[in-house]
Structure 1
Amino acid sequence: MAIDTSLLLELAAATLLFFITRFFIRSLLLKSSRKLPPGPKGWPLVGALPLLGNMPHVALAKMAKRYGPVMFLKMGTNSMVVASTPGAARAFLKTLDINFSNRPPNAGATLLAYHAQDMVFADYGARWKLLRKLSNLHMLGGKALEDWSQVRAVELGHMLRAMLELSQRAEPVVVPEMLTFSMANMIGQVILSRRVFETKGSESNEFRDMVVELMTTAGYFNIGDFIPSIAWLDIQGIQRGMKHLHRKFDRLLTKMMEEHTASAHERKGNPDFLDVIMANQENSTGEKLTITNIKALLLNLFTAGTDTSSSVIEWSLAEMLKNPSILKRAHEEMDQVIGRSRRLVESDLPKLPYLQAICKESFRKHPSTPLNLPRVSTQACEVNGYYIPKNTRLSVNIWAIGRDPDVWESPEEFRPERFLSGRNEKIDPRGNDFELIPFGAGRRICAGTRMGIVLVEYILGTLVHSFDWKMPDGVEINMDEAFGLALQKAVSLSAMVTPRLHQSAYAV
């Protein structure tokens, strides 16, 4: 009997020990599998928000050096994960692309983009797919871009002649104003069959100011987005500014659409982009587009279509003015391929590898969107062994990837030559090479990627080929950044130009 009792006690103890051990092992495994990525502790209530400062992309890049390529931040009552290397970006935007295909709710989407009724902020679904499909077919896709190549050539001709007049009067060219005026007219011709601005003046300058304000405010880290319970206080005044700006854009878009409807008889048999979109309000997919959806889409195309490409071209010119040897080499390549008796045409671009390298280097060092538009996780997931909870915001620091010394040799230097040979020669900015993703990647890659590359290469190439560039006497070039959804120069580039082509080239 004693033996039986002892045996039973040993069996009971062994069983108890087994279950206790199993419980602790499971708890430890569960805990380890739910280990959040490292990151700063932040402050009570507001979390890491105060740590971002006025230049969030720079602050986050510095934090990543301490905490690693996948970093977790508590932002008010929300969670945010930041990817700062090509590998981390690939994990989120390729491997887990579908899980991060939606946008988080934010004031910009609500107050500027008609409650996310546009293509940029819309949820990943049927309406987003329809807007994107129509935009690709009739404006942003390869065939559509070919169809309106003549529009780009004509509008660029107007810009060259305006710059020629300034050079004859010995007046500087304010580069971003000139670019916005021209590019808004290019887009207006495609969407509305007319120039948006007939002459450069106060109206076009006001439009540029509106575009810059939108791209700046939409990039702010708004406290109300991260602590919704106090959003109504609008502590930073961001939401008041957004509401005012939205009313101005809505008036402009309403006027455009009303004038477009009134001139419908002039376009019979030759529909433009807006005609096509209006005709697809009742779509075969069953998804209905409202007037609000259409206004929101036009807002996307006019703002992102002008500001992002404009900023890259301005940065490129600034870098060449800072590094005259780069400008000289670009001129030599163009003189050899094109000569000086005619303007550059788009078919010349594949024959100008150094120009294309300059554009890639600008995309690397000065990406138009330093932090990609935020995404949010639909489900909990794991990245690099770290647990990412459901409803975590994702920010990919594109600026940090372009400045990563583990990826790029001497990243602070502007060296187009890095793309002419070696491992970087085949790198392409269209979203497949995560070392260079100025337009993002995955399902939510910028819809205007093709258009952006064409505009940057063609317009920058034409400006460089057509003129010699120099800073006004006594003026030093300022290379400071101004943070926003698009990365602006803090001080607009203003430069003197001198024509370098045969006079007949400017008359075409």
Structure 2
Amino acid sequence: MFSQTSFQNLNMNNWHDNETTTNLIIATLAISAITWCAWLFFLKPKAHSRPLPPGPPGLPILGNLLSLDPELHTYLAGLARTHGPVFKLRLGSKLAIVLTSSSMARQVLKDQDTIFANRDVTAAARAGFYGGSDIIWSPYGPEWRMLRKVCVLKMLNTTTLDSLHHIRRNEVRKTIVYLRNRVGSPVKVGEHMISTGLNVMTNMMWGGAVEGAEMENWAAEFNALVAEFAELLAQPNVSDLFPGLARFDLQGVEKRMRVLVSRLDGVFEKMIGERVKMKAENHQSSDFLQFLLDLKEERDPKMQLTNDHVKGLLLDMIMAGSETSSTTIEFTMAEMMKKPEVMKRVQEELEGVVGKDNMVEESHIHKLPYLQAVMKETLRLHPVAPLLVPHSPSETTTVGGYTIPKGSQVFVNVWAIQRDPSNWEKPLEFDPTRFLDAKWEYSGSDFNYLPFGSGRRICAGITMAEKTVLCFIATLVHLFDWTVPQGEELDISEKFSLVIRMKTPLVAIPTARLSNPDLYK
């Protein structure tokens, strides 16, 4: 589900808060003028070619950078109403193409999927993800196909995920105990679920490598590193806006990322070392790390994993599987609290399937169609990556009758598509019943609904996201009632960031709703 690019990272509040950025831009304007002239020359459509898409006028050199709104998903949706379903923005010397209709999305994600299967890798991502040795940032080709196969067919398949069920169940139990101790008191739902999500992922990755207090210490250190890593990824970077200046690393983003990666490497190497020691002592384990190490040792010519691949895939899992899941849980809880009749119907469904004297188990999930519909409706209104992870065409092509140059950044505004009144009845209303029709799935085959993307680069962790998110939501509403603290109002407005978030974090008071005390132990 999961993390993204320079355009998504252009939170203008952060931009202006960075006290060095403005000075750096001013200092590099003269150098950038050369880049600007070259850009105009090479991207100017030839007489025989189709024109570039329309778009708002921009400033010399900076293009449209200074006119961007912090809430990019809504800002871009507004621009589409003026310029049409495909339009361009100039971000420094970069050309960005924004698609805001299901028909345009189909052209990119299905009709020309192979051409648009590459990514435009940011400087921070390249430095942080081992040069792109992972499934998110790796360019489309044999290496990416190998990594995708490892993730989807080997590591994130139902059999492997089911074998790690006990890990996810343990974290659910810890959450129950935490909430039991907080009954009657305000709980920061999103903040707690981020911590829980990180614990789920670290335990699924290497939970058997160390135990007890040592494991808690390593988990705490790793979680802190991940938070710092995400913050650095989200920082706007001159190197991404003016690639000709990237080698100078004017903001020091790459330098700081390399320092951070060296610290992350220390955690990875520690866990790998523990795993090698366990294997020498004939101790068995079945988590992601052990799976990847076993696959690496097999030396399969079709799956030649390196240490960087192993670390890159682990990093993908932790980055895509923690914050994305927590924000979906937070929005879902907020939407149900805003519409108590939805919450009540979910609880009634749980009572009928699970019972009042039983815990929710992952085996119950497929028997809860209304709860599944609630999650789908949440992801329709609040897709965790509203612009997806941007694509970059490997050759110049045509979309919607316009020229899309090779190497440009292409963004699919899923947030706008999933609220399009021409495709959705009462699109701004939270109505899970619209998803009780089985045709609505996460496969990306219907281009009106693309919360996980579509085509070759569709999210690899859909099955894991369903298991984790639905089980936590079901547990939260089965065992507890939830209310807003007295005097406060429920605000479900969004804040654009690396992963979309609630502008006002959800704070809610849990109350035990079932009489069996054993369920809360």
The TM-score with structure 2 as length reference comes to 0.83
Equivalent of residue 240 in structure 2, options 178, 202, 225: 225
Alignment of 1:271-282 (within 5 A): 271-281=286-296
Inter-partner Cα distance in structure 1 for 2:514 and 2:281:
38
Shift of 1:216: 5.2
The residue number in structure 2 matching 1:25 is: none
1:179 equivalenced with 2:190 (yes/no):
no
Superposed, 1:122-271 pairs within 5 Å as: 122-167=138-183, 170-194=184-208, 210-212=225-227, 214-215=229-230, 217-219=232-234, 222-231=237-246, 242-243=257-258, 245-265=260-280, 268-271=283-286
Distance 2:455 2:327 in 1: 23
> Which whole-Å CA distance do the structure 1 matches of 2:300 and 2:219 have between them?
38
Match of 2:310 among 267, 273, 294: 294
Equivalent pairs counted in the alignment come to 475
Map Cα deviations across residues 58-86 of structure 1 (whole Å, 9 max, x no partner): 22111111111111222222222111111
- The one-character-per-residue Cα deviations of 1:19-41 (angstroms, maximum 9, x if unpaired) are xxxxxxxxxx9747422222122
| Most deviating of 282-291 and 208-217 | 208-217
Map 1:97-108; keep pairs closer than 5 Å: 97-108=113-124
Q: Matched residues in 1 for 2:203 and 2:121: separation?
A: 33
For 2:383, what is the secondary structure of its paired residue?
A: coil
Deviation at 1:309, TM superposition (A): 1.1
Equivalent position of 1:430 in the other structure: 443
The alpha carbon displacement at 1:244 in A equals: 5.4
**Matched-pair contact (CA < 8 Å) for 1:45–1:77:** yes
Residue in 1 aligned with 2:42?
Answer: none
Q: Report if the CA contact (8 A) 2:209-2:274 is conserved.
A: no
**What amino acid is aligned across from residue 222 of structure 1 in structure 2?**
N
Q: Does 1:410 align with 2:426?
A: yes
Q: Is the 8 A contact 1:108 1:218 kept in 2?
A: yes
Contact 1:57 1:370 survives alignment (8 Å): yes
Is contact 2:482-2:510 (8 Å) kept? yes
Q: How far apart, CA to CA, are the structure 2 residues paired with 1:93 and 1:113?
A: 24
Output one character per residue of 1:312-349: Cα deviation in whole Å (capped at 9) or x when no partner: 01111112222222212222222233221111222322
- Displacement of 1:250: 3.3
2-side partners of 1:470 and 1:157: how far apart?
22
The structure-2 alpha-carbon separation of the partners of 1:492 and 1:118, relative to structure 1 and needing over 3 Å to count, comes to same
- 1:493 partner letter: L
Given residue 223 of structure 1, which amino acid in structure 2 is its aligned partner?
V
Matches of 1:198 and 1:468, distance apart in 2: 33
Partner of 2:328: 312
Match of 2:501 in 1: 488
Q: Is the 8 A contact 1:211 1:307 kept in 2?
A: no
What residue ranges of structure 1 are gaps of 5+ in the alignment? 1-28
The counterpart of 2:417, out of the listed 378, 395, 401, is: 401
Decide which of 93, 113, 126 is 1:110's aligned counterpart: 126
Q: 2:490, 2:219 → 1: CA distance?
A: 25
For the aligned residue pairs, the C-alpha RMSD in angstroms reads 2.9
Any conservation in 2 of the 1:181–1:197 contact (CA below 8 Å)? no
Alpha-carbon distance between aligned partners in 1 of 2:149 and 2:467, rounded to the nearest angstrom: 19
Cα distance, 1:258 vs structure 2: 3.0
Instruction: Give the aligned partner of residue 54 of structure 1.
Output: 70
Aligned ranges for residues 349-360 of structure 1 at < 5 Å? 349-360=365-376
Q: Is the 8 A contact 1:173 1:497 kept in 2?
A: yes
1:418/1:324 Cα in 2 relative to 1: closer, same or farther (>3 Å)?
Answer: same
CA–CA distance in structure 1, aligned partners of residues 67 and 159 of structure 2: 46
Residues in 1 aligned to 2:137 and 2:121: alpha-carbon distance in whole angstroms: 9
SS at 1:143 equivalent = helix
1:53-112 C-alpha deviation (Å, 9 max, x unpaired):
322222211111111111122222222211111111111011111001111131232222
| Paired residue secondary structure (1:224) | helix
1:72 aligned counterpart, secondary structure: strand
Q: Quick one: which of 413, 419, 424 aligns to 2:435?
A: 419
Is it true that 1:377 corresponds to 2:393 in the alignment? Answer: yes
Rounded Cα–Cα distance in structure 2 between residues aligned with 1:477 and 1:248: 39
**Quick one: percent identity of the two aligned structures?**
36
Which shifted more, 468-477 or 246-255? Answer: 246-255
Q: How far off its partner does 1:443 sit? A: 0.6
Aligned residues of 2:210 and 2:274 also touching (Cα < 8 A) = no
Change (3 A) 1:484 1:213: farther
Q: 1:120 to 1:152 in 2, by over 3 A?
A: same
Structure 1 pair 483–236 and aligned structure 2 pair: CA distance change class (3 A): farther
Indicate the SS of the match to 2:97.
strand
Provide the rounded CA distance (Å) in 2 between the counterparts of 1:413 and 1:221. 34
Partner of 1:331: 347
Query: Which residue in 2 is equivalent to 1:120?
Result: 136
| 1:438 CA displacement | 1.2
Question: CA deviation digits over 1:227-263, x for unaligned, max 9?
Answer: 1133366667755664554444333333333333333
Pair member with larger Rg: 1
CA 224–55 in structure 1, closer or farther in 2 if over 3 Å, else same: farther
Shift of 1:134: 2.0
Amino acid in structure 2 at the alignment position of 1:171: S
| Aligned counterparts of 1:117 and 1:480: Cα–Cα separation in 2 | 36
Where 1:40 maps in the other structure, the secondary structure is coil
SS in 1 for 2:296: coil
- SS at 1:99's partner residue? coil
Distance 1:371 1:446 in 2: 13
Partners of 2:217 and 2:421 in 1: CA distance: 44
Per the alignment, do residues 87 and 165 of structure 1 end up closer, same or farther by CA in structure 2, a change over 3 Å counting?
Answer: same
Q: Could you tell me which amino acid in structure 2 is paired with residue 318 of structure 1?
A: A
Extract unaligned runs of 5+ from structure 2. 1-44
